[in-house]
């Protein structure tokens, strides 16, 4: 047998086969690929859709589409005395001595309480309210003060800093894997240049389920546009921020679930779009 | 210069390598084609996202009709027609087929009494306060030419003019009494003015400076025993979520289970008739948002249709708007033999906010099949007043005849005639219409 000739024949056959398969694969790629609207076009479409309902989009639309979880969370009332000792700057072993009832610790400097949902509230006595320096150092001072007086402060990130008249609120949220949990806020209250106290929700994550990619911010805003259209909401409104995080408005005792949401802050209120299902609703204001 | 030439052995080696590369390339391309081709996707959930319709599909206009129609004859006798009776249906259909000619608001004549026609015959359409929001006129009487959408306080009166095939409707508004003429009124309306066997003789009894309408004589009413039908709850629960694969459940106290996807929640707990379902969606007021009752009803009816549906002869019992919280509250309840069914069985309460449903509560079991019926005589209005006593009557604002429920087990329920006594600022009292004794039923 002439193996040389057989080899040549096989080379010709496989070359023809590969050309045929390559042609088929290229055709398949073209038929299954979808038209991806350029980001700039998506934003332009959004602006046009929103303007029909008197909504102005004044933010840059994020492009990230990470994979997030459905989180099972619970409040952690077990650390109440530790949290109280941190807040009132007393030794942990002394906290129980200042305990009034089962959910309030009171000292000369202030009182620290816990409500039925396991959330903490600190009131500082006016004489001991720390003064915030004027200028740019205000936030840095508040952060430094919180690092000393707030339990788990390291796991919170700044969401907003709002000052009006003589008062203001610095809002933080607990962070999980880089994303804020809006259901776990930390609000520091300020009045006449002094810190008057704070409100804190500490959540423990007890499960991370169903990891999957979230919808993009542009899709979430499109869902919001549909919501606004269906509900005939045509009042003047301005979108001020779009942020990805976790939240749930359905709270059940000490255990519940928080879903990934795109939180859209507008001048009319806060909207939340479920980042898995694109369901839209009005969130916490 | 040395001449270079390929030896046959070298050529064979090159051919071997080329053949191997080509074979590998064909395997690679075949794999890419195999994995890149979309295949058939089988979803292992036949009831994904949908709920069977347990009742019948209804239009929003079906819910805006009178609770009852009073017929005042020329002999000054009063008869009551149940809102769901055939004759009442004919009257409403006839009115809807008429044509609006003209109408005028007579200012300075405020109050319901000045809207009442001077003498019979005339009809009294009792919408139970639904027309307090003018937007529901378009659903209550979609008359050609349209009546102005004015809020109504009290009932709507209809005075027939058979000779000219017209009728005059009048009702009280905040601004005065409104009178309008309808023409091309079908003849059926005038024949239905004569009380038939569906009309029950009623009398007016003065109580606390108001005239209560109650049965004139001891009429016979049915005492029915029904089976309780219960839908498959998992289908209905799934229907409240966009993606049921995300549903997580949490066991709660008192045999309750909470289902949630982190955004919405459905609680199923034990009630007097079986499972009670409460749906919750995120709520929050959007400043400046307002919704009319008609818009709210047009949103709610398809929502209920896609989550199990209306399971009885439902009527819109109550509706209220709260502009400050952008809320609209609605309550639907069932009618049996033309009488209202009191209590929580077959009752659906819904809250809308910013144009969407944010809360819904209903019993999952509903009246299924009628097992038996017994006709029993009930107390007349006069007898009831005598039994209740002067002290209780002094605080009464209204008395309505209807049905109460007794669940002997979670399989059957007995519907018995009861009088509901309403008071200002305190819960209603139910009295067994057969005996006059306080009625302690189930889910009342």
Q: Residues A8, A94: one domain?
A: no
**For position B107, what pLDDT does the model report?**
63
A107 shares a domain with A198: yes
Do A222 and A124 share a domain, yes or no? no
What pLDDT score does B17 carry?
A: 93
A205, A234, A255 - which closes a domain: A205
Task: Render B85-125 in DSSP notation, one character per residue.
Answer: SHHHHHHHHHHHTSEEEEEEEEET--SGGGGS-SSSSEEEE
Asked if the model's pLDDT at residue B410 lies above 90, the reply is no
Residue B44 has a pLDDT of 41
Partner A, chain B 223-282, Cβ-Cβ below 8 Å: 242-243, 245-246, 248, 250, 252, 258, 260-265, 280-282
CA dist B53 and B308 (Å) reads 5
- B98 at the A interface (CB within 8 A)? no
The residues near B88 (Cβ < 8 Å, ≥ 6 apart) are: B65, B66, B68, B69, B81, B82, B198, B338
pLDDT surpasses 70 at B432: yes
Q: How wide is the angle at C-alpha B146 spanned by C-alphas B144 and B150, nearest 5°?
A: 155
Residue B300 in this model has a pLDDT that exceeds 70: yes
Nearest residue on chain A to B20, alpha-carbon basis:
A11
Assess whether A109 and A220 both reside in one domain. Answer: no
Question: Could you tell me the pLDDT band of residue A34, with boundaries at 50, 70 and 90?
Answer: low
Cα A97 versus chain centre, distance: 38
Give residue A31's pLDDT. 67
Give mean pLDDT, residues B210-239. 90
- Pair A8, A86 in one domain: no
Helix (H) or strand (E) holding A83: helix A80-87
* Chain A contact set for B280 (CB, 8 A): 250
Q: What is the pLDDT of chain B when averaged over all its residues?
A: 86
Q: Cα Rg for chain B, rounded, in angstroms?
A: 32
Mean pLDDT to the nearest integer, A15-19 = 95
Shared domain check, A190 and A92: yes
Domains in chain B with CATH codes: 86-197 (no CATH), 229-365 (3.30.310.160)
Count of domains for chain A: 3
What digits encode the pLDDT tens for the residues A56-111? 998 889 988 999 999 999 887 678 999 999 999 999 888 888 888 888 999 999 99
Cα–Cα dist A1/B287, whole Å: 91
For A138-177, the pLDDT digits (tens) are 889 999 999 999 999 999 999 988 888 888 999 999 999 9
Q: Do A18 and B29 touch (CB under 8 A)?
A: yes
pLDDT of residue B391: 86
More confident residue, A245 or B177: A245
In terms of domains, do A261 and A211 share one? Answer: yes
Residues A258, A204: contact at Cβ < 8 Å?
no
Interface A–B counts its CB contacts (< 8 A) at 145
A211 touches chain B (CB under 8 A): no
Is B243 close to A257, i.e. CB distance below 8 A? no
The DSSP H or E segment spanning A258 is: strand A255-266
Give the pLDDT of residue B42. Answer: 43
The DSSP annotation for B356-414 comes to EEEEEEEES-EEEEEEEEEEEE---HHHHHHHH-HHHHTTEEEEEEEEEEEESSSSEEE
Q: Please give the DSSP secondary-structure letter assigned to residue B60.
A: G
- Residue B22 has a pLDDT of 94
Average pLDDT (B166-188) is 88
User: CB–CB of A274 and B248 under 8 A?
Assistant: no
Contact yes or no for A92/A82 (Cβ under 8 A): yes
* Contact yes or no for B363/B346 (Cβ under 8 A): yes
- What local confidence, expressed as pLDDT, does residue B43 receive? 41
B326-338 residue pLDDT tens: 889 999 999 998 8
- CB-closest option in B33, B246, B281 to A24: B33
pLDDT value, residue A284:
64
Mean pLDDT calculated for residue range A184-189: 94
Q: Which of A161-170, A259-268, B39-48 has the highest mean pLDDT?
A: A259-268
Return the residue matching tokens 């840095």.
Answer: A140
Q: Last residue of a domain, which of A182, A205, A228? A: A205
Count of other CB atoms within 10 angstroms of residue B412: 16
Instruction: Say yes or no: A21 and A91 in one domain.
Output: no
- Same domain membership, residue A67 and residue A78: no
Percent of chain A surpassing pLDDT 90 = 55
What is the reported pLDDT for B50?
A: 59
Q: Distance between CA atoms of A147 and A155, rounded to whole angstroms?
A: 11
CATH of the domain at A235: 2.40.128.690
Q: Name the burial class of residue A38, with classes exposed (0-12), middle (13-18) and buried (19+) by CB atoms within 10 angstroms of its CB.
A: exposed
Last residue of a domain, one of A205, A225, A258: A205
Q: Say yes or no: A156 and A272 in one domain.
A: no
If asked whether residues A89 and A189 sit together in one domain, one would say yes
Q: Is the C-alpha dihedral spanning B228, B233, B235, B241 positive or negative?
A: positive
Q: What is the three-class DSSP state of B25?
A: helix
Asked which of A221-225, B89-93, B130-134 is least confident by mean pLDDT, the reply is: B130-134
Position B284 confidence tier, pLDDT thresholds 50, 70, 90:
confident
* Interatomic CA distance for residues B21 and B327, integer angstroms: 71
Helices (H), B245-324: 293-305
pLDDT at A104: 93
Percent of chain B with pLDDT strictly greater than 90: 42
Work out the minimum CA distance from A5 to partner chain B, whole angstroms: 10
Determine the Cα–Cα distance for residues A283 and B283; give it in Å rounded to an integer. 7
Predicted pLDDT at B408: 80
Query: Is B53's pLDDT higher than 80?
Result: no
Share of chain B above pLDDT 70, in %: 92
With 0-12 / 13-18 / 19 or more C-beta atoms within 10 angstroms meaning exposed / middle / buried, residue B427 is exposed
Contact residues, chain B, for A281 at CB < 8 Å: 263, 281-284, 356
pLDDT of residue B114: 77
- Which DSSP string do the residues of A201-234 spell out, in sequence order? --EEEEEEEEEEEPPPHHHHHHHHHHHHHHTT--
> Nearest C-alpha of chain A: how many angstroms from B336?
35
Same domain, A2 and A18: yes
Domain containing A136 — which CATH number? 3.30.310.160
**DSSP strands (E only) in B240-355:** 248-252, 256-260, 265-271, 274-280, 315-322, 327-333, 335-336, 339-340, 348-353
Facing residues of B375 across strands? B222
Q: How far off is chain B from A279, nearest CA to CA, in Å?
A: 8
Is pLDDT of B46 > 70? no
Residue B138 in this model has a pLDDT that exceeds 90:
no
Give residue B147's pLDDT band: very low, low, confident or very high (50, 70, 90): low
Q: Say what the pTM is.
A: 0.82
**Which pLDDT value is given to residue B4?**
63
Domain coverage including residue A54 = 39-71+207-282
Nearest CB to B38 within list A24, A32, A277: A32
pLDDT band at B385 (very low <50, low <70, confident <90, very high): very high
**Cis geometry, peptide bond prior to residue B424 (ω within 30 degrees of 0):** no
């Amino acid at each position: 047998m002439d193996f040389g000739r057989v080899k040549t024949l096989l080379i010709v056959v496989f070359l023809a086969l590969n050309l045929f398969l390559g042609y088929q694969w290229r055709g398949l790629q073209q038929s299954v690929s979808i038209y991806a609207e350029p980001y700039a076009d998506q934003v332009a479409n959004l602006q046009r859709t929103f303007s029909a309902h008197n909504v102005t989009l004044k933010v840059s639309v994020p492009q990230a589409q990470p994979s997030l979880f459905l989180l099972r969370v619970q409040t952690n009332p077990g650390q109440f005395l530790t949290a109280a000792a941190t807040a009132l700057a007393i030794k942990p072993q002394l906290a129980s001595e200042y305990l009034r009832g089962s959910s309030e610790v009171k000292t000369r400097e202030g009182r620290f309480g816990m409500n039925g949902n396991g959330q903490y509230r600190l009131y500082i006595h006016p004489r001991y309210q720390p003064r915030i320096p004027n200028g740019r150092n205000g936030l840095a001072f508040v952060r430094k003060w919180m690092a000393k007086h707030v339990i788990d402060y390291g796991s919170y990130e700044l969401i907003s800093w709002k000052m009006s008249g003589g008062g203001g609120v610095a809002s933080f949220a607990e962070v999980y894997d880089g994303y804020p949990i809006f259901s776990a806020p930390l609000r520091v209250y300020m009045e006449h240049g002094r810190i008057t106290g704070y409100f804190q929700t500490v959540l423990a994550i007890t499960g991370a389920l169903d990891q999957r990619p979230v919808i993009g911010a542009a899709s979430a805003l499109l869902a919001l546009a549909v919501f606004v259209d269906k509900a005939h909401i045509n009042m003047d409104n301005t979108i001020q921020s779009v942020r990805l995080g976790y939240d749930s408005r359905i709270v059940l005792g000490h255990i519940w679930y928080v879903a990934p949401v795109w939180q859209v802050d507008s001048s009319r209120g806060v909207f939340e779009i479920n980042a898995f299902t694109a369901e839209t609703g009005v969130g916490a204001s | 210069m040395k001449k270079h030439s390929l030896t046959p052995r070298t050529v064979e080696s090159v051919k071997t390598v080329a053949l191997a590369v080509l074979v590998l390339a064909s395997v690679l391309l075949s794999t890419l084609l195999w994995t890149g081709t979309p295949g058939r996707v089988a979803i292992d959930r036949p009831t994904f996202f949908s709920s069977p319709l347990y009742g019948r599909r209804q239009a929003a206009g079906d819910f805006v009709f009178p609770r009852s129609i009073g017929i005042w004859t020329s002999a000054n006798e009063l008869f009551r027609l149940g809102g769901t009776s055939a004759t009442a249906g004919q009257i409403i259909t006839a009115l809807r087929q008429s044509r609006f000619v003209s109408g005028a608001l007579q200012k300075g004549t405020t109050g319901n009494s000045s809207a009442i026609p001077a003498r019979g015959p005339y009809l009294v359409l009792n919408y139970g306060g639904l027309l307090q929001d003018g937007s529901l006129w378009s659903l209550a009487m979609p008359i050609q030419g349209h009546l102005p959408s004015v809020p109504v306080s009290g009932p709507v009166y209809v005075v027939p003019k058979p000779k000219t095939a017209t009728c005059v409707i009048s009702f009280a508004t905040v601004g005065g009494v409104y009178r309008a003429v309808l023409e091309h009124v079908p003849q059926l309306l005038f024949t239905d003015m004569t009380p038939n066997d569906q009309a029950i003789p009623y009398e007016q009894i003065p109580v606390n400076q108001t005239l209560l309408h109650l049965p004139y004589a001891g009429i016979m009413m049915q005492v029915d025993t029904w089976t309780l039908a219960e839908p498959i709850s998992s289908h209905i629960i799934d229907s409240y979520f966009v993606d049921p694969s995300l549903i997580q459940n949490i066991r709660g106290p008192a045999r309750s289970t909470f289902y949630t996807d982190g955004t919405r929640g459905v609680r199923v707990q034990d009630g007097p008739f079986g499972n009670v379902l409460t749906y919750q969606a995120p709520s929050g007021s959007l400043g400046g948002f307002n919704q009319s009752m008609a818009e709210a009803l047009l949103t709610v009816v398809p929502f209920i249709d896609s989550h199990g549906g209306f399971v009885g002869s439902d009527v819109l019992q109550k509706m209220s708007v709260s502009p400050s919280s952008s809320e609209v509250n609605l309550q639907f309840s069932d009618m049996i033999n033309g009488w209202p069914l009191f209590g929580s069985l077959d009752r659906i309460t819904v809250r809308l906010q910013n144009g969407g449903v944010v809360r819904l509560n209903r019993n999952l079991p509903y009246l299924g099949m009628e097992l038996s019926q017994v006709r029993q005589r009930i107390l007349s209005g006069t007898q009831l007043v005598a039994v209740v006593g002067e002290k209780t009557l002094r605080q009464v604002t209204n008395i309505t005849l209807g049905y109460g429920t007794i669940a002997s087990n979670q399989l059957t329920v007995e519907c018995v005639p009861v009088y509901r006594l309403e008071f200002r600022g305190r819960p209603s009292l139910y009295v067994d219409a057969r005996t006059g004794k306080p009625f302690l039923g189930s889910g009342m």
